[in-house]
Amino acid sequence: MFALYKKEVQSFFCSPFAYVVSALFLLVFSLSFISGISNMDSSVLKFSFSNIFYNSFFYFIFLIPLLTMRTFAEERKSKTETIWLSAPVTIPQVVFAKFFAVATVFLMMMVLSLFFPLVAALHGTVIGSSLACGYLGFFLWSMVCIAIGIMMSALTDNPILAAVLGEAAMILVIFLDNFTNSVLIQSIPFLSKIFAWFSTETRFGAFSQGLFSLSDLVFFISITLAVLIWTVIIIEKRRWSRG
């Protein structure tokens, strides 16, 4: 599995693709950072980085499908998928290797964004626990979206369509969070509890406030694993259909 993971990571950084996406990621983050500073009444950089994550996440989910769209769709399009479908390697190993590769690229992008908290710390006060939990929550939230993007890529042989499907699915996740807070759902306690349990935004909110919750950690990991397992099922079904 490590060999597959290494190959996938190298495939990102041996082309300008990962660098372009990383540049766009930092551009969005820097614009949110500058916007947060410009809206302050004081010259002291004292604001919550969780606001940057909240404000930027909608734009970030336009970037995540760019990382995931080629994971399976590109191989199906170029007919190279048959190489590992017939190889002595399990489908879960392939899926998780690709997932960890994309997660590694995204983690590196987040590490680069640490430049902004360092700048804020030089001119103001940064609450370490809140910042760490915010980054952890944002990373876990993004892992769910990466898993969804990979699953969408496994459904088609067109990378562009995979990106569109991934984007639509991620917007649906955000819409679910907003729908949970609607008057209609709030008026029905039973439905409200169900939708609230699946709300990723609510669970990220706890992390952004510097509150580490084991239940929220388990939730994000469970949802990510569930989507990846479903991806394995999709590919296994296609593998057996080939005979």
Residue 210, pLDDT > 70, answer yes
Distances (CA, A) of 206 to 33, 90, 144: 21, 37, 17
d(Cα 70, Cα 154) in Å, to the nearest integer? Answer: 9
Digit-coded pLDDT (tens) for 62-117: 889 999 998 999 888 887 777 766 667 788 999 999 999 999 999 999 999 888 88
Digit-coded pLDDT (tens) for 2-18: 888 988 899 888 888 88
φ/ψ of residue 45, rounded to 5: -75, 85
User: Residue written as tokens 């879960």?
Assistant: 92
What is the predicted pLDDT for the residue at 243? 55
C-alpha atoms less than 13 angstroms from C-alpha of 123 in its C-beta half-sphere: 11
What is the predicted pLDDT for the residue at 223? 94
Distances (CA, A) of 183 to 188, 189, 191, 207, 234: 9, 11, 12, 25, 37
Q: Are 98 and 8 in contact (CB under 8 A)?
A: yes
Q: Residue 41: which pLDDT band, with cuts at 50, 70 and 90?
A: low
- The mean predicted confidence, pLDDT, of the chain is 83
Residues 6 or more apart in contact with residue 230 via CB below 8 angstroms: 151
Low-confidence winner among 28-42, 45-59, 132-146 (lowest mean pLDDT): 45-59
What is the predicted pLDDT for the residue at 84? 67
Burial of 227 from C-beta contacts in 10 A (0-12 / 13-18 / 19+)? buried
Digit-coded pLDDT (tens) for 135-179: 898 899 999 999 999 999 999 999 999 999 999 998 888 777 777
Report percent pLDDT > 70 for the chain.
86
The DSSP call for residue 124 is B
Burial of 163 from C-beta contacts in 10 A (0-12 / 13-18 / 19+)? buried
Range of 25's domain?
A: 2-241
Q: Are 216 and 210 in contact (CB under 8 A)?
A: no
pTM: 0.88
Number of domains in the chain: 1
What is the predicted pLDDT for the residue at 32? 78
d(Cα 211, Cα 206) in Å, to the nearest integer? Answer: 5
